[in-house]
A and B are shown apart, each in its own frame.
Chain A
Amino acid sequence: MKILSFTLILSLIALISFGQERELKLKPKRKDNFIHMDGLRVGMDLSRSLQHFWNKGNRYGTEFSIDMELIPNLYPTLETGWEKLRLTQDYLDYSSSGSYTKIGFDYNILVAENRQDMDMVYVGLRYGFTLANQQVKSFYVPNYWGDFSGSFDKQNYSAQWTEIVFGMKGEVLKNFFIGWSIRGKLKLGQKDFDLPHVYFNPGFGPAEKKFNFDFSYSVYYNFPFNFRK
């Protein structure tokens, strides 16, 4: 009985494997091997100015992006922006601000229905870096023997990271797009100080974490000139 069961299970596994292999072989090559979007798409990330809704403190910023379809379905991308975080509470007044830039590419995995279809679902990679400064304008340490207060001058620092991106961009009006993305950010390097440690990296998020999640919600306009002519 055991031998029969074993044989049946093996046969089932072999059948499933064969089926998957056939499925892979039968998977059609994508037929939209053409340029979907002529021109240069410029975008603005609306979520950067609303970050104080889901982050501690007053965090806000601006980010712009440029991308273009260089070869079919591959979009080199540049994103650059500025961010500030200010945390004001009873024991500390901390601020950090700086500019950041991210370069990379998006690959469209959505097969176009026709030549006019510019909607895209994409995965992408980025390399990002920031040049920023932080300042503790005042701090206060309560103590039985007498409270202690002080401040720290501006400290300049830098950081770099990489991002994995998954998102969508949909054309809602002629050449106008709306899109969102979710991003996993992995820190590659950080200039830090003994006191106080860097708490926030513009463009990356909390500096104490090696990995951060983020998302964006952007509007875009495609300047529809054909630069290939």
Chain B
Amino acid sequence: MKKNLLYISILIGLAISCDDVYEQPPQAFLEIALENVDSLDNSTPKVSAYGIGMEDSIWLYQQTTDLFLLPLSLEETTSFVILLDSIADTLRITHETELVFESAETGFYNEFKILDVDHSYNRIDDYAVTDSLVTKTWHENIKLYINSLPDSIN
């Protein structure tokens, strides 16, 4: 009798089911940090950004921040217009793209390696690549050194 109860309890355990829940695949974003060239200037700009050719799809709109993420394309170069307090600059990143298999439960995603950076000089003064690998673990990749706003705008 005890043996039968044991077998029945095991069968009941087998019958317990649960629904499958899948996560979205991770995404690798380019992380950009802003730093004022003038060390006395502690202001944080309002940042907007959209991809060149993607004007009808604003990625970032009027966010007051000194750290933001940008998505890279699967082409060799990714170009963004970045507005810092409404002063527009273009930022062009040349990169390699690699397809990565996360798992069969989440799927694939792309990682990138920055090869070169080019920009206009309206508000951006200079840049530094702090880490060329753009991975699913978001971390600072590029530091943009920005000039202070002209007094006429301030």
A residues with CB within 8 A of B: 47, 50, 52-54, 56-57, 87, 89-92, 94, 139-146, 148, 170, 172, 178, 180, 195-197, 199-200, 208, 217
In the assembled complex, the CB of A118 is this many whole angstroms from the nearest CB of chain B, namely: 13
State whether A92 touches B104 (Cβ < 8 A).
yes
State whether A89 touches B59 (Cβ < 8 A).
no
State whether A148 touches B74 (Cβ < 8 A).
yes
State whether B108 touches A141 (Cβ < 8 A).
yes
**What chain A residues lie within 8 Å of B5 (beta carbons)?**
none
| Residue of B whose beta carbon sits closest to that of A86 | B104
A53-B16, A54-B17, A180-B10 known; A143+B107 contact, CB < 8 A = no
| Residue of B whose beta carbon sits closest to that of A148 | B74
| Residue of B whose beta carbon sits closest to that of A96 | B104
Q: Please tell me which one of the listed residues A50, A54, A144, A197 contacts residue B101 in the complex, with CB atoms under 8 A apart.
A: A197
B1-37 residues with Cβ-Cβ distance < 8 A to A are 3-4, 7, 10-11, 14-18, 20, 22, 24-25, 27
In the assembled complex, the CB of B57 is this many whole angstroms from the nearest CB of chain A, namely: 7
State whether A139 touches B14 (Cβ < 8 A).
no
A91-B24, A144-B71, A197-B101 known; A217+B14 contact, CB < 8 A = yes
Does B54 make an interface contact (CB < 8 A)? yes
In the assembled complex, the CB of B8 is this many whole angstroms from the nearest CB of chain A, namely: 11
B90-136 residues with Cβ-Cβ distance < 8 A to A are 99, 101, 103-110
A53-B16, A87-B105 known; A145+B78 contact, CB < 8 A = yes
A91-B25, A197-B101 known; A53+B15 contact, CB < 8 A = yes
Does B51 make an interface contact (CB < 8 A)? yes
Could you pull out 25 A-B pairs where Cβ atoms are within 8 angstroms?
Answer: A54-B14, A54-B17, A56-B20, A90-B24, A91-B22, A91-B25, A92-B107, A94-B104, A141-B25, A141-B107, A141-B108, A142-B25, A144-B71, A144-B73, A145-B51, A145-B54, A145-B71, A146-B73, A148-B110, A170-B3, A170-B7, A196-B101, A200-B104, A208-B103, A217-B14
A54-B17, A148-B74 known; A141+B110 contact, CB < 8 A = yes
State whether B54 touches A89 (Cβ < 8 A).
no
Provide the main secondary structure of the chain A interface.
mixed
B53-80 contact mask (Cβ, 8 Å, vs A): 1 or 0: 0100101000000000001111100100
In the assembled complex, the CB of B13 is this many whole angstroms from the nearest CB of chain A, namely: 9
State whether B107 touches A91 (Cβ < 8 A).
yes
**What chain B residues lie within 8 Å of A54 (beta carbons)?**
14, 16-18
In the assembled complex, the CB of A210 is this many whole angstroms from the nearest CB of chain B, namely: 16
Bound-complex Cα distance A170 to B10 (A): 14
**What chain A residues lie within 8 Å of B14 (beta carbons)?**
47, 50, 53-54, 217
Known interface pairs A57-B104, A89-B105, A89-B107; 4 further A-B residue pairs with C-beta atoms within 8 A, sorted by A's residue number: A90-B24, A143-B74, A145-B78, A146-B73
Bound-complex Cα distance A141 to B99 (A): 10
**What chain A residues lie within 8 Å of B74 (beta carbons)?**
143, 145-146, 148
**What chain B residues lie within 8 Å of A217 (beta carbons)?**
10-11, 14
In the assembled complex, the CB of B64 is this many whole angstroms from the nearest CB of chain A, namely: 22
Bound-complex Cα distance A30 to B57 (A): 79
A87-B105, A91-B107 known; A178+B7 contact, CB < 8 A = yes
